[in-house]
Chain A
């Protein structure tokens, strides 16, 4: 059974960079059929797509966050990561990592449990 687990600091100061890692177990991140994505959810609000990365390094970013987001992948550790720069209180959210079936079909089928990141001084 595929499992994803987010990890990283729960508190980030304004103007700094938020960094999270997603560790994939029970399957290989190097499958050509899938992308790996990040989604966030501010407290009490809806879901927002952040971006996708393929093990080859190909990326897609949300237009609204593109200037601040960087995704990377480490196939040797079966992990992928998110960096969000110049954070403000508006970036406070639960951040989810998920597997994206992006080959001729498009949906997130496996999700991590989510991790709350608070932006505050």
Chain B
């Protein structure tokens, strides 16, 4: 199973929105509604931000939202804040496999 494809970088000014794409195949992203998104700050463990495409765990701000169309999932961060600057990874259930995305570095300008 190949890694899901994400853009290497994305950026936005404080208060703006940024959207990150995550492209897979019909065997992973397109085949299941089990896409998750993780935020990772430097030197820290990943943190779950979105699961089942669009659900937010308790404590995650509603500025974070997820969606999916076909083989591509997306994470949108609205009202960008300085603390949102981090690496973001998508992931997908793929049957007896589990695959992560290549990662996107989000910069708050």
Contacts and interface: CB of A to CB of B under 8 A. Distances in A.
A45 to B, nearest CB: 8
A16 interface: no
Best-surrounded residue of A37, A52, A105 (most CB of chain B within 10 A) = A105
B36 A107 contact: yes
A46 B46 CA distance: 11
Interface stretch (B11-19, B78-86, B88-96): B88-96
A112 interface: yes
Interface in A96-121: 96, 101, 105-109, 111-114
Interface residues of B, number: 25
Contacts of B47: 111
Contacts, number: 61
B93 A46 contact: no
Contact of B48 (A48, A107, A113): A107
A105 B51 contact: yes
A3 B57 CA distance: 17
Contacts of A96: 45-46
A47 B89 contact: yes
Contacts of B46: 39, 47, 96, 108, 111
A63 interface: yes
Best-surrounded residue of A37, A49, A62, A63 (most CB of chain B within 10 A) = A49
Interface string A44-78: 00111100100000001011000000000000000
Contacts of B100: 39, 46-49
13 contacts: A46-B3, A47-B91, A49-B91, A60-B97, A63-B97, A105-B51, A106-B32, A106-B98, A107-B36, A109-B48, A109-B57, A112-B45, A113-B45
